[in-house]
Amino acid sequence: MAASAHDQQLPEAISEEALARIQASSDSASLEALRVEYLGKKGRLTGALRALGSLAPAERPAFGQRVNRAKEALDAALAARGEELRLRRREAALEASAVDVTLPGFGPTPGRPHPLSRTLTEICDVLGGMGFTVEEGPEVEDDYHNFEALNMPADHPARDMQDTFFVGDDRVLRTHTSPVQIRVMERQPPPLRIIAPGAVYRNDDDATHSPMFHQVEGLMVDRGVTFAHLKGVLTTFLRRVFEREVGVRLRPSFFPFTEPSVEVDVGCVVCGQRGGECRVCKGTGWLEILGAGMVDPAVFAHVGYDPEEFTGFAFGVGVERIAMLKYGIDDIRLFYGGDLRFLRQF
């Protein structure tokens, strides 16, 4: 019987052969087949163990140990190879579902709001944050609200400053957003903090003037509102809108509906007030940016506010003007053409 042990293949030989085949296996099914072939109930290594009985008792422990070592080696190899194949499968699955993330997303590429809308929104947000509420009024206005109630009676020379479009029946295309002041004051008592954005019209047309453009009107009325508040609010507003500490300068001016009246300049945002050859500020270092003033008592009289009790300031700012300065746009007509090559830049 002792010879029979030698008839059997040595466990090391079986194991060596099995390990090579495990290593060569390429999928989990063939790996399982190998496990059955070697370690199954009728497996070859299991068979080797069954042959233990035919060995001399003295050889048995050593042989048994050798078979067990071989089994352990095979188990470990099967598990390792199994894991390896699982990882490889996962890799392959990932590889198979790869996408090119740099390809464009589905559907249309997004568009943009108009630069004037963006600017208008910024203006309204800054002033909204300071407690001003948005109001609106008609674009085709009557003479009373556009002129008369704003202290510009018929034949007032100031009417010439505003190249007016007439549409008949005592109506005009509003030349400014100021009539909204009147409409709001007619409707409600002080205190008031309002802004009125919208389109306005002047009979004028060149690179910096369009027959239609946009303004934001502001009005604050309360007890104790002074010129100092006008300065404070407008300075804060302009610095927020231009997102920097621009210089702000107030010059006397004239509007029939405010007194004292103010023209507000900001330090040139294009040349940074270095002057010289700057085309935008023409070397003066200053840009005219908005008109303002303390509400004229005559305006209060028109709406029945007591000018002794209430004071206020009003201002009007051109949206195009600010957008042109912020974005470096040199021709106002670009805003209204709808050219996508322009609109895409904002």
Between residue 222 and residue 281, which ones bind other proteins under the rule CB under 8 A? 222, 224-229, 231-233, 235-236, 249-254, 256, 259-263
Give the bridge partners for 221, in sequence order: 192, 312
Closest to 78 in 3D by CA, of 27, 109, 32: 32
Closer of 51 and 242 to other proteins (Cβ) = 242
- The answer to whether the beta carbons of residues 196 and 136 sit under 8 Å apart is yes
Closer of 84 and 204 to other proteins (Cβ) = 204
Binding characters for other proteins, 106-135, by CB under 8 A (x = yes)? xxxxxxxxx-xx---x--x---x-xxxxxx
Q: For 90-140, give the DSSP string.
A: HHHHHHHT---TTSPPSSPPP----HHHHHHHHHHHHHHHTT-EE----SE
Closer of 65 and 226 to other proteins (Cβ) = 226
Number of residues located near other proteins, criterion CB under 8 A? 89
Separation of alpha carbons 67 and 72, rounded Å: 9
Exposure of 319 in the CB half-sphere (CA atoms within 13 A): 27
Residue 145 C-beta: closest distance to other proteins, Å? 9
Closer of 50 and 282 to other proteins (Cβ) = 282
**Is residue 56 near other proteins by the rule CB under 8 A?**
no
N-to-C CA span, the chain: 95
Residue 315 C-beta: closest distance to other proteins, Å? 14
Q: Which of residues 304-323 bind other proteins (CB under 8 A)?
A: 311
Closer of 165 and 242 to other proteins (Cβ) = 165
From 8-16, 70-78, 82-90, 337-345, give the range in contact with other proteins by CB under 8 A. 337-345
**Single-letter residue type at 184:** V
Residue 270 C-beta: closest distance to other proteins, Å? 19
Q: Which of residues 10-39 bind other proteins (CB under 8 A)?
A: none
Query: Which are the contacts of 271, defined by CB distance < 8 A and separation ≥ 6?
Result: 278, 280, 281, 285
